[in-house]
Amino acid sequence: MIQLFPKFEKTEFSCPVCSVALDSKGYYIPGMRCLADMHCPECDREFYADLPAGHGLYYPMLLDKETGLVSNHSGVDWFAQWLERSYRERRCEKSTLEIEVLATKRSIVLINCLDKVFGHSVLKLLNAQYYIDNEPDKGVVVLIPKSLRWMVPDGVAEVWAVDQTFRNGAGWNDALAEEIQANIERFAQCWLSPAFSHPHPSEYSIERFTRIAPFPLDEWDKRLDVPKLTFIWRSDRLWTTRHTPTIGIIARIVNKARRMFPYLKRFAINRETKAIVELATMIKQHVPSLDFAVAGFGEPCGLPSWIEDLRSNAPDVSIEKNWCRRYADSHLAIGVCGSNMLLPSAHAGATIDLMPDDKWGNLAQDLLFRVDDQRETLFHYRLIPASISAKSLAQIAAVLLFDRNHHLLTMKKELCDPRSSPDSL
């Protein structure tokens, strides 16, 4: 953590022109970015630099106030481009910050969860539990998009909610920066949480955030009378486009020119629907009692009545919670890698993450793990190429559903303990 107020801790950056150490003038938080306001004593240039919070912890960027150019020494283009664009398009509009005071505190830890990506915001929010449980003297203040208010855990001191979409989540609003500063200065002290982009699973429990207990793993076998499987849908990242080259080409065109080719989009979505029905049908042949559902962002349509269609184009809190309840009832969640898999993997008994070729570099970033034993983790979280066919995926899903007991019998740590008598098994 670094202190923002009353004393702003120095942050170390060098002038990209003179290479001398920059002076820190103060902090500046115009939205998603937590910045240091910096000045070069040699050439008089002024800069904003990322403070060590969120992705700024790993990829700190330096922005020249006059030119708007970003020094991207980390080589992470997307993070540099977000900063450059947000500064170029900066505005000063009356902020929509909604302050909710839940407890009175003198000192606070500020967790900035604003972001352009839903998953990034959720992951930053998960940092809150540590401070609530371990830093009782400091009140936790979460700065969040309003749509995530429902996931704020009990125990925070204040919620600062901004009414903005994720699409605009990297925006720069000078009026918001002023408002954030004024609110920080209501307190005797304010610290900025590093808001780790991937907090360790041992530091949070998902039910503290969604208020929904995950699938009870000890009831796995008992619930196999009616195995539940949920496919996680997202219209902009289809599974079937990855295993059929022709469809893949169409999908890429569709994603680039969706409005121009609505019939192509419909074609790709119909193909995806057909493949999901094929997958569900194959598993159902092994398990007639299968309860299969499709959930996530998308228009509900095209599925047979025996598949529950929970999709929505405009999910509200009630729908989001309903999805989480379905994940928590599911032995298995399957979906294409992305932010869409965070809450399913956190609640379901097991997860199959379908990895497109261009997502292997993001491996495991979209999963919230529940078990910590290496072998049990490998069993419960399968990362497999999205090029897999419905037939092979059905086989993996069926084995995962019914082989867990055998896997644990031979692999569970307590059952391989040489100090235990075989009689005790």
Q: Which residues bind Zn ion (CB under 5 A)?
A: 15, 17-18, 40, 42-43
**Contact yes or no for 200/130 (Cβ under 8 A):** no
> What is the spatial distance between Cα 32 and Cα 29, in angstroms, rounded to a whole number?
7
E strand or H helix that includes residue 181: helix 174-184
Least spacing, CB of residue 17 vs Zn ion, in Å: 4
- 43 vs 249, beta carbon nearer Zn ion: 43
- 18 vs 102, beta carbon nearer Zn ion: 18
Least spacing, CB of residue 21 vs Zn ion, in Å: 10
- 14 vs 205, beta carbon nearer Zn ion: 14
Least spacing, CB of residue 62 vs Zn ion, in Å: 11
Kindly give, in sequence order, each residue whose CB lies less than 8 Å from that of residue 318, ignoring residues fewer than 6 positions away: none
Least spacing, CB of residue 339 vs Zn ion, in Å: 39
- 18 vs 383, beta carbon nearer Zn ion: 18
- 43 vs 416, beta carbon nearer Zn ion: 43
Least spacing, CB of residue 46 vs Zn ion, in Å: 10
Please tell me what DSSP assigns to residue 58: T
Cα first-last separation, the chain: 47
Per-position DSSP letters for 75-130, written without gaps between them: --HHHHHHHHHHHHT-B------EEEE-S--SEEEEEE---SSHHHHHHHHTTHHH
Least spacing, CB of residue 39 vs Zn ion, in Å: 9
Kindly give, in sequence order, each residue whose CB lies less than 8 Å from that of residue 159, ignoring residues fewer than 6 positions away: 98, 99, 100, 102, 141, 142, 144, 149, 152
Least spacing, CB of residue 70 vs Zn ion, in Å: 16
- 23 vs 320, beta carbon nearer Zn ion: 23
Q: Quick one: tokens of 407?
A: 């896997």
Type of residue found at 66: E
Kindly give, in sequence order, each residue whose CB lies less than 8 Å from that of residue 299, ignoring residues fewer than 6 positions away: 235, 311, 313
Of 126, 75, 108, 95, nearest to 29 by C-alpha is: 95
| Helix and strand numbers, DSSP H then E, in the chain | 12, 17
Least spacing, CB of residue 41 vs Zn ion, in Å: 8
Least spacing, CB of residue 16 vs Zn ion, in Å: 8
Q: Quick one: tokens of 371?
A: 């078990």
- 38 vs 342, beta carbon nearer Zn ion: 38
Please tell me what DSSP assigns to residue 23: E
- 41 vs 216, beta carbon nearer Zn ion: 41
Instruction: Find the helix packing angle between 390-402 and 262-286, rounded to 10°.
Output: 40
**Contact yes or no for 109/194 (Cβ under 8 A):** no
- 42 vs 414, beta carbon nearer Zn ion: 42
